[in-house]
């Protein structure tokens, strides 16, 4: 007895019962990384294609960049990861000095969604798609990147990887991963793209080069 569901799938694919399977698609080798500067530019260019805003800068310029961001985007309340690198940059102190209210990175979802800005790093960066990969932990809760209306990722060149295979090789211990490719976007039944319906409306990526 034939299964009507399977038969409908076969019909949609233009197959009939008894057809031999098509030849398996070729398996391509892993992507090889290019020169460092080319990888940085490729990554940032892909982020821009996805409506993200990027800049290459130095750790010494972060405070001025934060001041500009706070003023231009009307930032009143923010949350950020509690990581050694962000502490070295004194991101928390800079925001407090600008009069921004700071929420705990482990605040509840309603308070986190009330934040104008969420600041994270990234554990890995994928140049080919402009993707940020974040490994969640107590110090790096995923809500900071998912709930505020603006997400700022402060990243470094050493976080660039060639492709997704490397990410999975490095995360075999079961960490919860968040993959971010551009701001949140949703398409309705007419395929009209809307940003920020289910997450940050804007994504800023700052590539920091050099020592603190």
Q: Where are the domains of the chain?
A: 34-208
pTM, entire model: 0.83
What class has domain 34-208? alpha beta
pLDDT of amino acid 14: 76
Average confidence (pLDDT) per 10 residues, the chain, 212 residues: 76 73 78 90 96 96 97 97 97 97 96 97 96 93 95 97 90 85 68 65 96 87
From residue 83, alpha-carbon distances to 21, 92, 102, 121 in Å are 51, 11, 15, 8
pLDDT of amino acid 159: 97
Q: How many residues does the chain have?
A: 212
**Residues sharing a CB contact under 8 Å with residue 27, sequence separation 6 or more, in sequence order:** none
Cα torsion 28, 162, 117, 178 to 10°: value is 50
pLDDT of amino acid 131: 96
From residue 58, alpha-carbon distances to 8, 45, 63, 106, 209 in Å are 58, 18, 10, 28, 5
pLDDT of amino acid 188: 59
């Amino acid at each position: 007895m034939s299964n009507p569901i399977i038969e409908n799938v076969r019909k949609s694919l233009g197959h009939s019962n008894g057809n031999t399977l098509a030849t398996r698609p070729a398996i391509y080798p892993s992507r090889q990384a290019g020169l460092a500067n080319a990888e940085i530019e490729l990554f940032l260019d892909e982020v821009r294609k996805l409506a993200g805003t990027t800049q290459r800068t130095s750790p010494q310029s972060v405070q001025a960049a934060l001041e500009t961001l706070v003023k231009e985007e009307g930032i009143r309340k923010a949350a950020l990861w509690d990581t050694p690198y962000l502490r070295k940059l004194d991101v928390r102190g800079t925001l407090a000095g600008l009069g921004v209210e700071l929420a705990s990175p482990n605040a509840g979802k309603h308070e986190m969604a009330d934040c104008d800005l969420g600041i994270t790093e990234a554990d890995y960066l994928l140049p080919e798609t402009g993707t940020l990969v974040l490994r969640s932990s107590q110090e790096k809760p995923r809500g900071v990147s998912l709930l505020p209306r603006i997400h700022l990722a402060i990243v470094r060149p050493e976080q660039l990887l060639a492709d997704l295979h490397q990410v999975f090789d490095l995360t075999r211990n079961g960490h919860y991963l968040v993959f971010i490719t551009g701001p949140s976007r949703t398409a309705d039944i007419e395929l009209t793209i809307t940003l920020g319906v289910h997450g940050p409306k804007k994504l800023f990526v700052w590539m920091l080069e050099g020592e603190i």
